[in-house]
Amino acid sequence: MDASRTKAFVDAMWDEQIVPQLVEYIRIPNKSPMFDADWVKNGHMDRAVALMQAWAKAQPVPGMQVEVVHLQGRTPLIFLDIPATDGGGGDDCVLLYGHLDKQPEMTGWDEGKGPWVPVLEGERLYGRGGADDGYAIYGSLTAIMALQAQGVAHARCVVLIEACEESGSYDLPAYVDHLAARIGKPSLVVCLDSGCGNYDQLWCTTSLRGLAGGNLTVKVLDEGVHSGDASGIVPSSFRIIRQLLSRIEDEASGRILVEGLHVDIPAERKQQAAKVAEVLGTEVYDKFPFLPGMHPMAEDLTELVLNRTWRPALSITGADGIPPLASAGNVLRPSTAVKLSLRLPPTLDGKRGGELLQQILLRDPPSGAHVSLHLEKASTGWNAPALSPWLAQAIDQASAEFFGKPAMYMGEGGTIPFMGMLGEKFPGAQFMITGVLGPHSNAHGPNEFLDIPMGKGVTACVARVIAEHHAARLRGETSGVAAMAGNSYADTPGGCC
């Protein structure tokens, strides 16, 4: 593969086709089903699917099958099957993954920007979903076309673009089971839904945290009462919530107190964290929009990286039962509810994490309060298998060619449920998990943006890795992939990223 020709092809595709496509995609408010209960009636998801399907069908890829698979009662899935260039068949393939559903609007967008308002400023494209993860189908297919434009051989490639990742990928296991025979047995999985520590080199994800969470509700009264009359007699539901959360988390340090939610961190991951801290320096925390005078939870940069990737952490992401300040009267409220998001270490069983959360929060309710926990998520994380020598070399070569710097490896704090599922189904597969979500890109929040040069670089790197996969395949270096496990994953619990 000629790197300069690949770069020229990829750059032209991004400038002439991908960016205009993403502009139209950002305009579509296709929120994930968890955030749009009427998603079928509203039709936004179908619009996004149709946009991507039409583009894929228009690409000159010989023998490519483009199909929207739609199982009854589930979100749709885009399925692309690209034949091997040498005409070879068999189950072995490269599986490329992404998603097209989006997080909700979120407040705080800068003036002139908004979740469904695409804004191009310099080399940044603002708007919801461009980087997370609308570019995935375009980048995947462009990488393959870049090889075909040069006559470079590649294995059969399968592209899966799902539509409920941000809701926990609960539909995806059913599709993987349904399409098992057509997918085959991938020896390489490429995921374009992860992050990067900077925009200067290729970053590959070595682990993903799991997630346990749901709605914790405390009820103390049938109705609200005068706070002056009841306070001191009726326990506050908010205070009881505070007590319960203190069973989980040290409110001073943020450390999770339940030892069963911690794991032993592998030595290799500690070494990688130290290298990330060395390369990024204070960018480990500078990428977040801290207010003046605020500082991170620790001074040691390596410990901050490990906190974000290998240690459990609790966030409260929503609340009910608490009126806005403008309408808050002197009332002792009857109930308080909060949404818990507990990030779990990559190797901790998600189901076990959810069980521990329930056991600790529901036992011995303070003051006899009515306490309930509706567990919405119990997802196991993922720890990457050791890289095969061919893949490690290909990734480093790709980063050097298209970024001029060596590749970096780090864990991510979020969750991609599909990765754990694939790791179980294809225990011999190799994984390249990468993405464009770098400093200040703010996925899920206001002012989310896609760094276009990073998107171009990642796309070109994927092309190099796919080419090297084929070469390794001919040398017999990818033959360790195990047969697909026979169990069904249709009932696997998920957890959004």
pLDDT at site 480? 53
pLDDT at site 484? 38
| Angle at 452 (CA atoms; ends 450, 457), nearest 5 degrees | 120
List Cα–Cα distances, 110 to 114, 128, 483, in angstroms. 7, 13, 50
pLDDT at site 481? 44
Q: In angstroms, rounded to a whole number, what is the distance separating the alpha carbons of residues 70 and 64? A: 19
Which tokens hold the place of 421?
């599922």
- Of 101, 1, 27, 22, nearest to 451 by C-alpha is 22
Place of tokens 């490639």: 157
Which tokens hold the place of 282?
């204070």
pLDDT at site 424? 82
Q: Do the Cβ atoms of 342 and 357 come closer than 8 Å? A: yes
Q: Do the Cβ atoms of 119 and 434 come closer than 8 Å? A: no
- Of 337, 339, 369, nearest to 221 by C-alpha is 369
pTM, full prediction: 0.87
Structural domains of the chain in order of their starting residue, each with its CATH number: 3-208+381-474 (3.40.630.10), 210-258+310-380 (3.30.70.360)
pLDDT at site 325? 96
Place of tokens 């026979």: 486
Q: Do the Cβ atoms of 85 and 150 come closer than 8 Å? A: no
pLDDT at site 425? 81
All residues at 6 or more sequence positions from 120 whose CB lies less than 8 Å from its CB, including other chains: 19, 23, 126
| Angle at 132 (CA atoms; ends 130, 136), nearest 5 degrees | 75
pLDDT at site 493? 39
Phi and psi torsions of 374, nearest 5°: -90, 105
* Helices of type H across 116-236: 135-149, 172-178, 180-183, 227-230
| Angle at 125 (CA atoms; ends 395, 201), nearest 5 degrees | 20
Looking at the chain, how many residues does it have? 497
Q: Do the Cβ atoms of 185 and 357 come closer than 8 Å? A: no
pLDDT averages per 10-residue partition of the chain, 497 residues? 98 98 98 96 98 98 97 98 84 96 96 98 98 98 98 97 92 94 95 95 96 96 97 98 98 96 97 96 94 96 97 97 96 98 96 96 98 92 94 98 97 85 85 96 96 98 98 84 41 42
pLDDT at site 489? 39
